[in-house]
């Protein structure tokens, strides 16, 4: 049973990573298109002072959580963390070159906050509870 759950987490991680790449590389907002029939409108799921960047925090937290469970060995945790942090920066920088997309510092901070926050939370939980 535990092996099946781990396999599901691995598949979910890779599916979520591919979905992230599609959402970031597509010229326009696919989620905005499906929700509002408008490629130029970003959805704001939660009212907050940083706007739609909170979506980045949530998605990268979710992706990091899955990635750290998948890479639960100590050396792999660091490699997974570095990979996700690099991807978060690289994908946001790609918005300089993708039409109908714009680089936003708050989005970059949201990406990094999601990755770094979950990494440190994971390390604390592992140190004190596991």
> Pick from 29, 10, 28: which is nearest to 18 by CA?
10
* Domain spans, the chain: 2-129
Q: Give the tens place of pLDDT for each residue, 85-101.
A: 999 999 999 999 998 88
pLDDT along the chain (130 residues), means of 10: 84 95 88 85 76 88 92 78 93 91 91 95 86
19: Cα separation from own chain's centroid: 10
What is the predicted pLDDT for the residue at 29?
83
What is the predicted pLDDT for the residue at 1?
66
- The single-letter DSSP state of residue 48 is -
- The single-letter DSSP state of residue 33 is H
């Amino acid at each position: 049973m535990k092996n099946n759950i781990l396999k599901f987490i691995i598949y979910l991680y890779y599916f979520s990573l591919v979905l992230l790449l599609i959402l970031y590389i597509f010229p326009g907002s696919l989620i905005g298109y499906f929700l509002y029939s408008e490629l130029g409108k970003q959805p704001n799921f939660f009212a907050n002072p940083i706007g739609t960047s909170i979506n980045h925090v949530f998605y990268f937290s979710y992706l990091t959580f899955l990635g750290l469970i998948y890479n639960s060995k100590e050396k792999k945790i660091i490699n997974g963390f570095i990979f996700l942090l690099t991807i978060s920066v690289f994908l946001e920088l790609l918005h300089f070159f993708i039409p109908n997309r714009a680089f936003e510092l708050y989005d970059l901070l949201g990406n990094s906050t999601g990755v770094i926050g979950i990494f440190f939370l994971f390390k604390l939980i592992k140190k004190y509870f596991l």
